[in-house]
């Protein structure tokens, strides 16, 4: 309120009026995030945050996630900090990025409509490169102590240095999903899987890149073909690409005739892949959140006999974050919400299989013993891979600079040839 009334009435003339308009809680501090940010204490931020509304733009395609954020988190921040959390469901994070970009182009550098975005990977890269992010606020957040910024999977988002411009919120890792009643011994490595596909024509496929899930599969074949992931977590290197790409395309083209519908067409996205698997047309699908497999069985999306596993040669995982745009109207409240999201209780609630069931972004060794135990004691759906197995098989995401060349390459060399 305070910030907004100053901005709209303009200049110091109206300071008295602004003070009388703003509530007593925000007036006493006399500082506001937009101008006095570096000198503010956490208490002053809390004071400014009270009574603000946070517009949180996030993908809205899951009723479970919508409920966790819209009911549980919203009620908690309302009660604890007097903040109204408004979840704004969008179909794709790009919509929120474009919105901030549109505001930037229109010269709205203050009072922007997006306060918080659920983000990672290329969208983060776009916003960071475009100077569209508010950064360096983690040091003030009390719960930052639970984040291990020395962990490269946290400090690098798809190979891009996070540089304290986003707050880690949860972890994901790809798992293979299959039905043991149809297939007793699923292939355990990428080369075995490719052989299995050739031996069982029509029973496997992957979504066409640039679909996110489809690119997951291409990345695994890439790592397997190259024999290492190391060159791909750094910046793009044309010589490495020229060296490995032809092998990758020939591997994918070799297996294409044995894919579902002879590789003449590919499913559009993960939802389509899941449906093919659930309907028994193919024998595998992949999940990018290990715990979503249990959820999808409970929801009736997958048959009850479904199970999941990780490949012995590893599966790619990543961290997802929340970020505050540079022009957010309610930065103080957005920081308070972000801080609450990485509190042990909010992370534990999120990790419960009955709620959302996503792995925590916190470094458990930094938590008090009783909290560590609560995370260890979390029940796990029998179809979901254990944390130990996931950790053992974790591979990093390639740097996002590599993604576009491989997407274009797939279109030219695989899609066009079959």
Partner 1 sequence: MVLAGLREVAAEGGSRALWRRRSLWRWLAIGLLLTWLILPLVPLVIWSFSFSWFFPSTLPSRWGMRAWEYAFSPTASVLPALWDTIVIAGGTVFLSLLIGVPAGRALGLHVFRGKRIVEFLVIAPTIVPPLAVVLGIHVVFIRLGLADTVIGVILVHLIPVLPYVTLVMTGVFANYDPEFEDQARSLGAGWVRTIWYVMLPAIFPGLMVAGLFAFLISWSQYVITLLIGGGQVQTLPLLLYSFARSGDNALTGALSVIFILPGLLMLLLTSRFLTGRNQVIGGIGR
Considering the complex, what minimum distance in angstroms separates the CB of residue 355 from partner 1? 13
Determine which residue in the list 10, 23, 30, 61 makes contact with partner 1, applying CB under 8 A.
61
Q: Judged by CB, which is closer to partner 1: 333, or 362? A: 333
CA distance 216 to 287: 10
Q: Rule CB under 8 A: is residue 89 a binding residue for partner 1?
A: yes
Q: Judged by CB, which is closer to partner 1: 34, or 296? A: 296
Q: Rule CB under 8 A: is residue 57 a binding residue for partner 1?
A: yes
Q: Rule CB under 8 A: is residue 324 a binding residue for partner 1?
A: no
Q: Rule CB under 8 A: is residue 103 a binding residue for partner 1?
A: yes
Q: Which of 334, 206, 336 is nearest to 258 (CA)?
A: 206
Q: Please, which of residues 69-88 interact with partner 1 by CB under 8 A? A: 70-71, 88
Q: Judged by CB, which is closer to partner 1: 54, or 256? A: 54
Q: Specify the stretch interacting with partner 1 by CB under 8 A; choose among 100-108, 140-148, 233-241, 401-409.
A: 100-108
Considering the complex, what minimum distance in angstroms separates the CB of residue 4 from partner 1? 13
Q: Judged by CB, which is closer to partner 1: 153, or 327? A: 327
CA distance 278 to 95: 30
Q: Judged by CB, which is closer to partner 1: 109, or 373? A: 109
Per-residue x/- track, 218-257, partner 1 (CB under 8 A): ----------------------------------------
Determine which residue in the list 67, 253, 372, 418 makes contact with partner 1, applying CB under 8 A.
67
Q: Judged by CB, which is closer to partner 1: 31, or 331? A: 331
3-state SS record for the chain: CHHHHHHHHCCHHHHHHHHHHCCHHHHCCCCCHHHHHHHCCHHHHHHHHCCCEEEEEEECCCHHHHHHHHHHHHHHHHHHHCCEEEEEEECCHHHHHHHHHHHHHCCCCCCECCCEEEECHHHHHHHHHCCCECCCCHHHCHHHHHCCCCCHHHHEECCEECCCCCEEEEEEECEEEECCCCCCCCCCCHHHHHHHHHHCCCCCCCCCCCCHHHHHHHHHHHHHHHCCCHHHHCCCCHHHHHHHHHHHHHHHHHHHHHCHHHHCCCCCCHHHHHHHHHCCCCCCEEECCCCHHHHHHHCCCCCCCCEEECCCCCEEEEEEEEECECCECCHHHHHHHHHHHCCHHHHHHHHCCCCCCCECCCCHHHCCHHHHHHHHCCCCCCCCCCHHHHHHHEECCCCHHHHHHHHHHHHHHCHHHC
CA distance 49 to 296: 37
Q: Rule CB under 8 A: is residue 21 a binding residue for partner 1?
A: no
Q: Specify the stretch interacting with partner 1 by CB under 8 A; choose among 64-72, 184-192, 310-318, 353-361.
A: 64-72
Q: Judged by CB, which is closer to partner 1: 57, or 124? A: 57
Q: Rule CB under 8 A: is residue 308 a binding residue for partner 1?
A: no
Q: Specify the stretch interacting with partner 1 by CB under 8 A; choose among 11-19, 104-112, 127-135, 378-386.
A: 104-112
Q: Rule CB under 8 A: is residue 66 a binding residue for partner 1?
A: yes
Determine which residue in the list 77, 85, 96, 97 makes contact with partner 1, applying CB under 8 A.
96
Per-residue x/- track, 255-294, partner 1 (CB under 8 A): --------------xxxx-xx--xxxx-------------
Q: Specify the stretch interacting with partner 1 by CB under 8 A; choose among 16-24, 62-70, 131-139, 387-395.
A: 62-70
Residues with Cβ within 8 Å of 101's Cβ and at least 6 positions away in sequence, in order, are 130, 132
Count Cα neighbours of 245 within 13 Å in the Cβ-side half-sphere: 20
Determine which residue in the list 43, 79, 91, 242 makes contact with partner 1, applying CB under 8 A.
91
Where along the sequence are the contacts to partner 1 (CB under 8 A)?
55, 57, 59-63, 66-67, 70-71, 88-92, 95-96, 99, 102-103, 105-108, 113, 269-272, 274-275, 278-281, 299-301, 303
């Amino acid at each position: 309120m305070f910030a907004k009334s100053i901005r709209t009435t303009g200049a110091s003339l109206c300071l008295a009026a602004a003070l009388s308009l703003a509530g007593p809680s925000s007036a006493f501090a006399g500082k506001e995030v937009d101008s006095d940010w570096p000198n503010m204490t956490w208490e002053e931020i809390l004071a400014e945050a009270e009574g603000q509304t946070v517009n949180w733009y996030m993908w809205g395609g899951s009723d479970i996630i919508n409920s966790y954020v819209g009911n549980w988190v919203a009620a908690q921040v309302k009660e604890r900090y007097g903040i109204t959390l408004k979840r704004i469901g969008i179909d794709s994070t790009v919509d929120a990025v474009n919105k901030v970009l549109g505001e930037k182009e229109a010269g709205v550098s203050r009072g922007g409509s997006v306060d918080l975005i659920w983000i990672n990977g290329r969208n983060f890269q776009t916003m960071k490169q475009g100077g569209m992010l508010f950064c360096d606020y983690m040091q003030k957040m009390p719960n930052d102590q639970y984040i291990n910024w020395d962990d490269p999977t946290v400090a690098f988002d798809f190979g891009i240095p996070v540089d304290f411009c986003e707050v880690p919120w949860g972890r994901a890792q790809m798992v293979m999903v299959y039905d043991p009643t149809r297939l007793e011994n699923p292939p355990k490595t990428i080369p075995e899987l490719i052989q299995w596909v050739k031996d069982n024509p029509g029973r496997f496929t992957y979504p066409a890149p640039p679909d996110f899930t489809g690119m997951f599969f291409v990345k695994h074949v890439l790592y397997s073909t190259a024999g290492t992931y190391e060159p791909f977590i750094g910046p793009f290197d044309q010589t490495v690409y020229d060296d490995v790409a032809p092998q990758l395309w020939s591997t994918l083209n070799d297996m294409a005739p044995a894919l579902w519908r002879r590789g003449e067409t590919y499913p559009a996205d993960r939802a389509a892949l899941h449906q093919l698997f659930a309907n028994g047309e193919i024998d595998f699908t992949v999940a990018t959140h290990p715990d979503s497999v249990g959820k999808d069985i409970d929801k009736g999306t997958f048959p009850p006999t479904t199970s999941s596993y990780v490949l012995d040669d590893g599966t790619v995982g990543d961290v997802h974050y929340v970020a505050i745009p540079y022009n957010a109207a309610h930065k103080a409240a957005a920081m308070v919400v972000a801080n609450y999201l990485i509190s042990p209780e909010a992370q534990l609630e999120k990790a419960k299989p009955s709620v959302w069931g996503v792995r925590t972004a916190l470094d458990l060794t930094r938590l008090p013993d009783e909290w560590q135990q609560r995370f260890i004691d979390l029940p796990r759906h029998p179809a979901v891979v254990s944390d130990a197995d996931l950790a053992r098989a974790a591979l990093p995401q390639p740097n996002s600079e590599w993604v576009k060349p491989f997407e274009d390459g797939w279109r030219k060399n695989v899609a066009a040839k079959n």
